[in-house]
């Protein structure tokens, strides 16, 4: 139920409780933040429920008696309390059900108010204003996600990261925040040099174009080749790179290449630029395919030295200290963390030093109120440490840093290991899902109906993947089952896409009934059946669901809402004939309700990165 109804009735419940308190001679000022609003477990109990347990001690009465007294006051004063209120609540009933005060709303008024808000578009922008609660208006939020390496393509784990980051960014924007999506590309380090070394010694001038593959896949194959090199026994006569020691020294040669890169060796830097370009172009192609976008890219090669100056400032202020070996450290034991090295004894930075500098640089670049890192759960300790250090350095925005920690995602076959070449590439997985969806379209002989079978299959694949990844709360580990994700029945992306296509098809058929329905008038009071009321209540709860999902950084809340809305529409469609309804007024009224469902469904699917389909 929409939050405006909850808040309106919290005000009235608080007023009634204060009357009960005065009658009992209790000095107590009940405010709305002391009141909890719930949805009764059974529709017949009402639409809103308010438990009285928390007032028993102060009122010195059992919760049941308090509920009875409050319900009596509301029943007696309902006409008076409604006048001048934020909305007309005529016809609302209040009843005590044990320790609860349950409210039954006026169905016709709620239907009229909800559908009017959904169907009214912003005259200036045409935006869908109903699902925009405005809870974050005026805030500036930066979201970092994806963070790929340039030695391999995106994999299944990245897909969960990407859709989480993109979805929460869309939800935060829907709540009024100004959002900046950023991506740090890890384009330096020993892992990059491993793929570079394998290519230099075995590549023989091959390119992604000559091999007919995407650049990120091409470079990723050389990373796998390096791992194979480390397993090979030293071969007499050396290798194609002229190293007479065979491959037993591959790790050492990769480290030497890293040293050459850091020293600015022209040949090494040129190879690094070439292979990074191949990978980044390939990764961006996957982003475009999956609907992921960024406002700014940061590159580790350009930022990895940032932070050292801040560590020196902290050392001078006594925030950090120098260890006997010369390393700069911070003591975080008071925060239930450990002592942490920030600069090595030789003055070089480590990973957390880079993150400290990057956070400060980003705030200077685009001053934010909040920064959200979308990173796997294995990095929880790292971010606790990072946030504590930035707080010690005195940055006021440090208290608004947060880590959206998400669990591992695996396939039924087991975990992924990229260095062994067993990683599930994002593109390969999407290709497989697309081909499976295309086969389903052909088996159902829907090629002509959908118009573009390959294009529709691609969108079905993306919907299946994104919904499966988002329907589970981010913190949980999950098992991705490709076949289950593509089912057109049950709690899946294709089912939700089908529901949108089904409503779209029905509304297209409306033109055949235009002459008959044109005689009718939209009358929300006719939408009075239980199936219609459940659908209207689901629609009314959309703004609050968006606000809750954004506040908790949990797209699963919105995914669950979409599924419940779809099930409610299915029941409505089954129980309430639309185009064959008894009267023209009822036809128009139910078509209006269907149009509202379609608009809300389309908007919600977009927030969780699922393509909307008008035909399936």
Pull the structure tokens for residue 105. Answer: 């709303």
Q: Which of 600, 559, 555 is nearest to 166 (CA)?
A: 555
CA atoms within 13 A on the CB side of 500: 23
What's the CA gap between 227 and 518, in Å, rounded?
A: 71
- Cβ-based neighbours of 252, under 8 Å, separated by 6 or more: none
Give the distance from CA 512 to its chain's centroid.
40
- pLDDT for residue 71 is more than 90: yes
Q: Residues 450, 455, 456, CA angle at the centre, nearest 5°?
A: 45
Q: In Å, what is the CA distance from 108 to each residue of 196, 494, 503, 542, 567?
A: 68, 33, 23, 18, 22
What's the CA gap between 526 and 524, in Å, rounded?
A: 5
- Digit-coded pLDDT (tens) for 180-223: 999 999 999 999 999 999 999 999 999 999 999 999 999 999 99
With 0-12 / 13-18 / 19 or more C-beta atoms within 10 angstroms meaning exposed / middle / buried, residue 212 is exposed
Residue 74 — very low, low, confident or very high, per pLDDT cuts 50/70/90?
Answer: confident
More confident site: 240 or 481: 481
Only one residue has tokens 């573009």, namely 452
Q: What residue spans of 510-583 are helical by DSSP H?
A: 514-517, 530-540, 542-552, 555-575
Pull the structure tokens for residue 17. Answer: 């409780």
Residue 245 — very low, low, confident or very high, per pLDDT cuts 50/70/90?
Answer: very low
Q: For position 83, what pLDDT does the model report?
A: 36
More confident site: 518 or 418: 518
With the C-alpha atoms ordered 457, 461, 462, 464, is the resulting torsion angle positive or negative?
positive
122 DSSP assignment:
P
Q: For position 80, what pLDDT does the model report?
A: 38
Exposure pattern of 459-469 as b/e (b: 16+ CB <10 Å)? bbbbbbbbbbb
More confident site: 248 or 586: 586
Q: For position 34, what pLDDT does the model report?
A: 94
Only one residue has tokens 């319900």, namely 71
Pull the structure tokens for residue 163. Answer: 């859709």
Q: In Å, what is the CA distance from 481 to each residue of 187, 422, 485, 557?
A: 32, 17, 6, 21
Q: What residue spans of 93-238 are helical by DSSP H?
A: 107-119, 156-174, 190-202, 208-211, 215-231
- Digit-coded pLDDT (tens) for 83-130: 334 444 567 889 999 999 999 999 999 999 999 999 886 544 557 889
Only one residue has tokens 């008038």, namely 521
- Digit-coded pLDDT (tens) for 42-65: 988 999 999 999 999 888 899 999
- pLDDT for residue 10 is more than 60: yes
Query: What would the mean pLDDT of 406-419 be, rounded to a whole number?
Result: 70
Residue 237 — very low, low, confident or very high, per pLDDT cuts 50/70/90?
Answer: very low
Pull the structure tokens for residue 249. Answer: 């020294």
What's the CA gap between 535 and 554, in Å, rounded?
A: 23
The overall average pLDDT reported for the chain is: 90
Residue 240 — very low, low, confident or very high, per pLDDT cuts 50/70/90?
Answer: very low
* Alpha-carbon radius of gyration of the chain: 30
Percent of the chain predicted with pLDDT > 70: 91
- Cβ-based neighbours of 55, under 8 Å, separated by 6 or more: 17, 30, 61, 63, 66
What's the CA gap between 147 and 140, in Å, rounded?
A: 21
Mean pLDDT lowest among 67-81, 251-265, 308-322:
67-81
CA atoms within 13 A on the CB side of 383: 18
What's the CA gap between 136 and 547, in Å, rounded?
A: 9
- pLDDT for residue 571 is more than 50: yes
Q: For position 612, what pLDDT does the model report?
A: 97
More confident site: 404 or 90: 404
| Contact yes or no for 429/156 (Cβ under 8 A) | yes
What's the CA gap between 225 and 222, in Å, rounded?
A: 5
Q: Which of 509, 521, 501, 513 is nearest to 615 (CA)?
A: 501
Q: For position 540, what pLDDT does the model report?
A: 94
- pLDDT for residue 82 is more than 60: no
| Contact yes or no for 8/86 (Cβ under 8 A) | yes
What's the CA gap between 312 and 160, in Å, rounded?
A: 37
Q: In Å, what is the CA distance from 241 to each residue of 203, 237, 238, 267?
A: 10, 11, 8, 15
Q: For position 21, what pLDDT does the model report?
A: 87
What's the CA gap between 367 and 395, in Å, rounded?
A: 12
Instruction: Say how many C-beta atoms besides its own lie within 10 A of residue 240's C-beta.
Output: 10
Q: Phi/psi of residue 593, each to 5°?
A: -60, -40
What's the CA gap between 437 and 430, in Å, rounded?
A: 10
451 DSSP assignment:
S
Domains and CATH numbers, the chain: 3-105 (3.30.1360.70), 426-607 (1.10.730.10)
* DSSP string across 461-475: HHHHHHHHHHSS-TT
Only one residue has tokens 């940055």, namely 395
- pLDDT for residue 166 is more than 70: yes
Pairing of strands 100-104, 93-97: antiparallel
């Amino acid at each position: 139920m929409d939050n405006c109804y909850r808040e309106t009735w919290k005000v009235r419940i608080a007023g009634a409780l204060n009357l009960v308190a005065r009658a009992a001679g209790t000095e107590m000022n009940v405010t709305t933040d002391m009141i909890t609003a719930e949805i009764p477990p059974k529709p017949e109990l009402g639409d809103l429920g308010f438990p009285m347990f928390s007032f028993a001690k102060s009122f010195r009465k059992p919760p049941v008696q308090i509920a009875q007294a409050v319900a009596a006051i509301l029943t007696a004063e309902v006409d008076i309390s409604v006048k001048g209120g934020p909305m007309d609540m005529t016809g609302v009933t209040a009843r005590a059900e044990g320790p609860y005060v349950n409210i039954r709303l006026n169905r016709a008024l709620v239907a009229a108010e909800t559908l009017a808000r959904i169907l009214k578009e912003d005259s200036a922008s045409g935006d869908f204003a109903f699902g925009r609660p405005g809870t974050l208006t005026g805030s500036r939020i930066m979201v970092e996600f994806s963070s790929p390496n340039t030695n391999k393509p995106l994999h299944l784990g990245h897909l969960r990261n990407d859709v989480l980051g993109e979805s929460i960014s869309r939800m935060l924007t829907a709540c009024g925040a100004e959002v900046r999506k950023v991506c740090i590309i890890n384009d330096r380090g020993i892992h990059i040099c491993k793929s570079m070394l394998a290519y230099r010694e075995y590549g023989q001038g091959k390119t992604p174009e000559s091999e007919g593959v995407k650049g990120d896949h091409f470079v990723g194959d050389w990373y796998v080749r390096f791992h194979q090199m480390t397993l090979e026994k030293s071969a007499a006569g050396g290798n194609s790179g002229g190293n007479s020691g065979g491959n037993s020294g591959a790790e050492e040669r990769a480290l030497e290449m890293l040293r050459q890169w850091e020293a600015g060796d022209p040949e090494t830097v040129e190879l690094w630029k070439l292979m990074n370009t191949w990978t980044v172009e390939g990764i961006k192609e996957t982003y475009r395919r999956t609907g992921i976008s960024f406002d700014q890219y940061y590159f580790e090669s350009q930022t990895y030295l940032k932070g050292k100056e801040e560590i020196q400032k902290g050392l001078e202020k006594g925030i950090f200290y120098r260890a006997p070996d010369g390393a700069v450290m911070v003591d975080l034991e008071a925060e239930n963390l450990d002592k942490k090295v920030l600069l090595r004894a030789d003055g070089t930075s480590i990973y957390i030093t880079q993150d400290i500098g990057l956070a400060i640089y980003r705030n200077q670049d685009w001053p934010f109120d909040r920064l959200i890192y979308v990173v796997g759960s294995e990095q929880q300790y790292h971010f606790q440490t990072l946030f504590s250090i930035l707080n010690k350095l005195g940055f006021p925005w440090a208290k608004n840093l947060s880590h959206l920690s998400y669990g591992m995602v695996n396939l039924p076959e087991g975990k992924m290991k990229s260095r062994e070449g067993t990683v599930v590439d994002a593109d390969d997985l999407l290709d497989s899902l697309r081909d499976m969806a295309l086969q389903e379209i052909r088996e159902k002989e829907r090629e002509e109906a959908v118009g573009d079978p390959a294009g529709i299959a691609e969108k079905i694949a993306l919907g299946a993947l994104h919904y499966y990844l988002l329907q589970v709360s981010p913190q949980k580990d999950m098992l991705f089952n490709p076949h289950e994700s593509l089912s057109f029945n049950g709690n899946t992306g294709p089912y939700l896409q089908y529901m949108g296509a089904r409503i779209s098809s029905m509304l297209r058929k409306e033109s055949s009934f235009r002459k008959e329905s044109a005689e009718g008038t939209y009358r929300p009071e006719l939408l009075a059946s239980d199936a219609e009321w459940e659908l209207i209540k689901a629609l009314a709860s959309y703004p609050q669901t968006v606000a809750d999902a954004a506040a908790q950084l949990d797209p699963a809340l919105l995914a669950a809402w979409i599924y419940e809305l779809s099930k409610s529409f299915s029941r409505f469609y089954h129980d309430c004939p639309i185009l064959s309804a008894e009267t023209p007024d009822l036809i128009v009224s139910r078509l209006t309700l269907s149009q509202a469902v379609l608009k809300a469904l389309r908007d919600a699917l977009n927030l969780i990165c699922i393509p909307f389909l008008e035909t399936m």
